[in-house]
Amino acid sequence: MPNQVEWTPDARELADLELLLSGAFHPLTGFLGAADVAEVTARGRLTDGTPWPAPVTLHLPFPVAPGDTVRLCDPEGAALAELTVTEQAETGEVAGPVKRLGTPEHGPFARLRRGPAEVRAELGDGPVLAVTSRGPLDDTVLEEIKATAVELEAATVLLLPLIFGERGPAVVRDALRAADRLRQEGAPFGVTVVAVPLAPREAPIDLELREHVAAAYGAAEHFAAPEPVEIPGPPHRRGLVLFFTGLSGSGKSTIARGVRDALLERGGRTVTYLDGDVVRRLLSKGLTFSKEDRDLNIRRIGFVAAEVARHGGLAICAPIAPYAATRAEVRAMVEEVGGVFLLVHVATPLEECERRDRKGLYAKARAGLIPAFTGISDPYEEPDDADLVIDTTDMPVEKAVAAVMNLLTSGGWIR
Ligand SMILES: Nc1ncnc2c1ncn2[C@@H]1O[C@H](COP(=O)(O)OS(=O)(=O)O)[C@@H](OP(=O)(O)O)[C@H]1O
Ligand SMILES: Nc1ncnc2c1ncn2[C@@H]1O[C@H](COP(=O)(O)OP(=O)(O)O)[C@@H](O)[C@H]1O
């Protein structure tokens, strides 16, 4: 009996899924299998010879078999599509056709994210100039667009703001403003704006994919607006997550509190301290110390910290966070919103933590009274990506705090 399971793909996969379903990735109708991925990567073609620039894949962290169906849901749990599995690679990537189940409503500008068939039917006759953009359409670019449209004798200029990630809404707003301007200036062509959730790829592939999407929307010609100029804010205004990891009793909370106090004394940045105990009492109340629950605990902390960073704040977290993959997830969450993630490994050895045994937990764990205790009967994966490593064995607290403050100052994260 084939199985049916549910899965929420990540943001990039959801964007690809929407384009597969809408027909914007024509001729693709599903996620690619290993043979197609190999051919696309090596030669820019599918195995049947059709030109296609980029692998479009879906990772599932659990095994499925050919014939199984996977119900793909958005982050809010609404069913978007059904994938019928044709194969799964050893690394987890699944291939197979997708069938629409619901209209995508997650993410901004759902109303403007219309598919090629609907848009083409509305455009009528005459050449279409499609303009894809990932940043503002300034005066110079608008003049270029107008000139190209006039030369093409375009009936329509189709502005396709490519929305993905944090910058998406601003890109759509820019396209809407550009459309208003063109209309007000009495341009000799119609202007339509359609938002397209196309996740960026490396430079040449991104451009080729944009060409394909423009063609799917019926464009006779495609104009790729120049890439936005990145002007990151000054480091002391960027969102930052200071994440301590280490064994129980290693000194995480003591150093984290010291750093928080030092930052508050200095002023200049708002600080959110996600105290481990408070997290376990409120945010993660009821969670155990199983691997699943520890991971969930860390993801929750990461989610809140990333929200703080999104708004330019500084978050300090100090959980054990024993698993490298979960710490990496938090790093990715923070970086995705434009924040900086700094990992401090409080690497005080187990012997010293156990000697301190502030809460008497190690003694209990040794006596078998606390199962799955980190370092005794549960794993701790040492980070190999720490920005700072501190062994507090023979170190006064002030010195440990100073080392972290030094890290923050040297990167310009605080002034
Ligand atoms: N089984 C087991 N393993 C490890 N730790 C345990 C366990 N049971 C309770 N405690 C107490 O919980 C604190 C660790 O919680 P965390 O939320 O930081 O852990 S984790 O990141 O979710 O692994 C930890 O506190 P700290 O000493 O502040 O690290 C312990 O006091
Ligand atoms: N340099 C140091 N940094 C942090 N803690 C230290 C240091 N030297 C000794 N300690 C002591 O080690 C213990 C660490 O406990 P705690 O900060 O609660 O660790 P954790 O949060 O990692 O479980 C405290 O009793 C603290 O006084």
Q: Which CATH class is domain 4-100?
A: alpha beta
Structure-block tokens of residue 258? 């010291």
Q: Is the pLDDT of residue 414 over 80?
A: yes
CATH topology assigned to domain 235-410:
Rossmann fold (3.40.50)
pLDDT (0 to 100) of residue 108: 80
* Average confidence (pLDDT) over 110-126: 93
Ligand 1 atom, smallest distance to 321 CA: 21
CATH of domain 110-224: 3.40.50.620
> Which pLDDT belongs to residue 169?
92
For residue 18, give both structure tokens.
């929407």
Taking the CA of residue 361 as reference, the ligand 1 atom at the shortest distance is 31
What separation in Å is there between the alpha carbon of 386 and the centre of ligand 2?
19
% residues pLDDT > 90 (the chain): 89
In 348-415, which ranges are continuous DSSP H helix?
350-356, 361-366, 397-410
- CA–CA dist 207, 224 (Å, integer): 7
Nearest in space to 195 (alpha carbons), one of 140, 155, 158, 145: 158
The tokens describing 190, both together, are: 């119609």
- Centre of ligand 2 to C-alpha 360, Å, is 14
Using one digit for the tens of pLDDT, what is the confidence trace for 146-194?
A: 999 999 999 999 999 999 988 899 999 999 999 999 999 999 999 999 9
The mean pLDDT of 86-112, rounded to a whole number, is 92
Q: Note the pLDDT tens digit of each residue in 358-394.
A: 899 999 999 999 999 999 999 999 999 999 999 999 9
> DSSP letter string over 100-164?
E-S----STTGGG---HHHHHHHH-SS-EEEEEESS---HHHHHHHHHHHHHHT-SEEEEEEB--
Our CA angle for 88, 99, 109, nearest 5°, is 110
4-100 with 235-410: one CATH topology? no
| CA 328 vs CA 117, 130, 324, 384: distances in Å | 40, 38, 6, 11
Q: Where are the alpha helices (DSSP H) in 194-275?
A: 203-216, 252-266
pLDDT tens digits, 40-74: 999 999 999 999 999 999 999 999 999 999 999 99
Non-local (6+) Cβ contacts of 289 within 8 A are 372, 373, 374, 378
- Reported as a single tens digit per residue, the pLDDT across 250-275 is 999 999 999 999 999 999 899 999 98
* Residues shown for the chain: 415
Whole-number percent of the chain with pLDDT over 70? 99
218: CB partners within 8 A, 6+ apart: 116, 119, 120, 123, 128
Instruction: Give SS3 for 304.
Output: helix
At 231 the pLDDT is 65
Which of 250, 284, 320, 344 to probe ligand 1 with, by most ligand atoms within 8 A of CB? 320
From the CB of 254, is ligand 2 less than 6 Å away? yes
In the reported structure, the alpha carbon of residue 270 is separated from the centroid of ligand 2 by a whole-number distance in angstroms of 24
Strand segments, DSSP code E, in 216-336 are: 221-224, 240-245, 271-274, 314-317
Q: Note the pLDDT of residue 124.
A: 82
| pLDDT at 232 exceeding the cut of 70 | no
- Does the C-beta of 133 come closer than 6 Å to ligand 2? no
Ligand 1 pocket, residue 298 CB under 6 Å:
yes
* ipTM associated with this complex: 0.97
Does the CB atom of residue 276 touch ligand 1 within 6 A?
yes
Distance CA(79)–CA(71), nearest Å, equals 7
Q: Which one, of 311, 318, 303, lies nearest residue 256 by Cα?
A: 318
Domain residue extents for the chain = 4-100, 110-224, 235-410
Cα 409 to ligand 2 centre (Å): 23
43 neighbors 54 (Cβ within 8 angstroms): no
Using alpha carbons, select from 327, 325, 324, 394 the residue that is nearest to residue 355.
394
Give the helix/strand (H/E) hosting 276: helix 276-281
Q: Can you tell me which atom of ligand 1 is nearest the CA of 365?
A: 1
Number of helices (H), then strands (E), in the chain:
13, 16
Does 253 appear as a known binding residue? yes
Say if CB 350 and CB 393 are below 8 A apart. no
